[in-house]
Structure 1
Amino acid sequence: MGSLSDNGGNWPPDGGSPDGLPDFPEEWGVIVIPDDLSELSEEVTAVREELRQTQEKTRWERFADRPGMRSLRRIGAASLRAPVLIISMAVLVTVASLFASAWPGPSRSPATQRTANTTDDRGDRLPALELIGTDGKTVPIRGQLPAVVLLTDGCDCAQLIADTAAAVKPGITVVTVVAGAAPGQTGAAPATGAVPQAPGKVVSALRDPTGELRSGLNLGAPDGTAAALLVDSSGEIVRAVPRTASIEDLRPDLARL
């Protein structure tokens, strides 16, 4: 067998290897070395993967790679998803609530305040009753509108009537109503004294035989004070005062008639 020095550095003519080196194993087959080494990238990747798998694993890696540990890892990952989802939903709901509370809503008109036992903005209508006049004839109470109706059962209200007649504008009738039978009959209501007449003002004294006006409007039983109704020309009660003894309780609302 020749050598590279004997043959000018070329391979021996009998096909042997130079310098006495052994030939490649036959099971390797024909080995072709490409001119462009990038063509061997797939083979390089496969060899690296094989070497990585054959590397010896640490004790912890072997412990973590057991089937039981793999199951525990899957269970742990699944158990973490539910709390994370719950926390995320709670944060979203909280943020939405903050936006809803801070968002300006439609303005609301303030509710009308009512003073107990003094005034009541009823919004009701005056019943279409026919009461009895001083001459004994029937008088439709709605024929007196607009009016301030004073229910004076058991009330010494002469001063209140006079003050009301002086305070109302011309064209507004002051109507006094006493419940019960006519004077001299059984069950007659106590007299309230003569009805004063203010110059240029109309004061009408009527009697409600059955007390239907007081009971129908839930004005309560007589207690020595008057009940007042401020009624406009359409018959709407713009203010009701269940108990009063002074014109000052009515004065702020007289302009609404």
Structure 2
Amino acid sequence: MAGASDNGGWSSDGGSPDDLPDLPEEWGVIVIPDDLSELSDEVEAIREELRLSGPPTRWQRLLRRPGVRRVRRLAAKAVRAPVLIVSLAVMVTVASLFASAWPGPPRQPAAQRTAATAAVGGTTLPALELIASDGRTVPINGQLPAVILLIDGCACAELVSDTVDAVRPEIAVITVSSTATASAAGTPPTNTTPQAAGKILRPLHDPTGSLRSHLELPAPDGVAAAIIVDRSSKIVRQIPRIASVEDLRADLARL
């Protein structure tokens, strides 16, 4: 049987060599694993202890225990996912607020239509042919600029006269009614009536109401409607209900 010297100083039964003391009992049982990566927690703990300048406190020693470190890692993983979700939700909310508050391209205001007045930006007078007092067909846009008064069911003689007085000589005044008899209340029954200072008053008839329908004006209700048209057939303004020429003066000055 081999002696102690045959095993480098260790006895054959696995005990301690004769010239070395036994390990302290408070160390407990020391197990060396086959895979050294299992000692990573202990290695990290030792590195942290070496980095500390002072002696660890009781809480530090408690937190360095392998079991506590495992609990801390599990808690960190459990908290990481909710924190990520909350962060993404906050980012999406902030992005939505910025998107809603960011000024976009300016929008053109829609044409406002009321019972009293309606501004028509860019609308063109339709190329309609109406009937003159002598029965001939006359293009409504044959003489521009013009103020067109729709006088069905309206006792508008004073309004027509005041409008003729208010316009400049180059601006024609055209009255439109559905029947020839309706125009008698507002204008003389002639095709083109010369007025003072070279001004022109032209009564026309629209038996089918095509002009009123095309411009989406309300049905006749005893009050005249007015349309102001410039030289290029563009409708500057249309007023569904007008009782006085004062409603036209500001537009006539710019026409």
Q: What 5-or-longer segments of structure 2 have no aligned partner?
A: 1-17, 21-45, 50-57
Aligned to 2:52: none
Structure 2 distance, partners of 1:136, 1:156, is: 23
Pair 232,216 (structure 1): closer, same or farther in 2 beyond 3 Å? same
Pair 90,125 (structure 1): closer, same or farther in 2 beyond 3 Å? same
Aligned to 2:218: 220
Within-5 A mapping of 1:104-253 = 105=103, 108=106, 111=109, 114=112, 116-122=114-120, 123-180=122-179, 182-183=180-181, 189=182, 191-195=184-188, 198-199=195-196, 200-253=198-251
C-alpha contact (below 8 Å) 2:171/2:199 kept by paired residues: yes
Q: Deviations over 1:120-163 (max 9, x none)?
A: 12232111111111222111111021100000001011111111
User: How many residues are treated as equivalent by the alignment?
Assistant: 196
C-alpha contact (below 8 Å) 2:151/2:186 kept by paired residues: no
Aligned to 1:8: none
Taking every aligned residue pair, what percent have the same amino acid on both sides? 53
Q: Which amino acid aligns with 1:153?
A: D
C-alpha contact (below 8 Å) 2:63/2:69 kept by paired residues: no
Pair 102,212 (structure 1): closer, same or farther in 2 beyond 3 Å? closer
Indicate the larger mover: 93-102 or 159-168: 93-102
TM-score normalised by length of structure 1: 0.63
| SS state at 1:230 partner | strand
Instruction: Compare CA radii of gyration and give the structure with the larger one.
Output: 1
Cα RMSD of the aligned pairs, angstroms, is: 3.6
Displacement after TM superposition at 1:119 (Å): 1.6
Aligned to 2:253, which of 244, 247, 255? 255
Indicate the larger mover: 78-87 or 139-148: 78-87
Aligned to 2:78: 79
Structure 2 distance, partners of 1:215, 1:115, is: 15
Structure 1 distance, partners of 2:186, 2:89, is: 75
Aligned to 1:16: none
Structure 2 distance, partners of 1:137, 1:64, is: 111
Structure 2 distance, partners of 1:110, 1:245, is: 30
Displacement after TM superposition at 1:74 (Å): 2.9
Structure 2 distance, partners of 1:233, 1:130, is: 18
Pair 111,137 (structure 1): closer, same or farther in 2 beyond 3 Å? same
Q: What 5-or-longer segments of structure 1 have no aligned partner?
A: 1-24, 28-48, 53-57, 184-188
TM-score normalised by length of structure 2: 0.64
| SS state at 1:161 partner | helix
| SS state at 2:211 partner | helix
Q: Which amino acid aligns with 2:247?
A: D
Q: Deviations over 1:66-104 (max 9, x none)?
A: 4xx66543321101212333444455556667777887x
C-alpha contact (below 8 Å) 1:238/1:256 kept by paired residues: no
Aligned to 2:4: none
Pair 197,247 (structure 1): closer, same or farther in 2 beyond 3 Å? farther
Q: Which amino acid aligns with 1:254?
A: L
C-alpha contact (below 8 Å) 1:152/1:225 kept by paired residues: yes
Pair 208,117 (structure 1): closer, same or farther in 2 beyond 3 Å? same
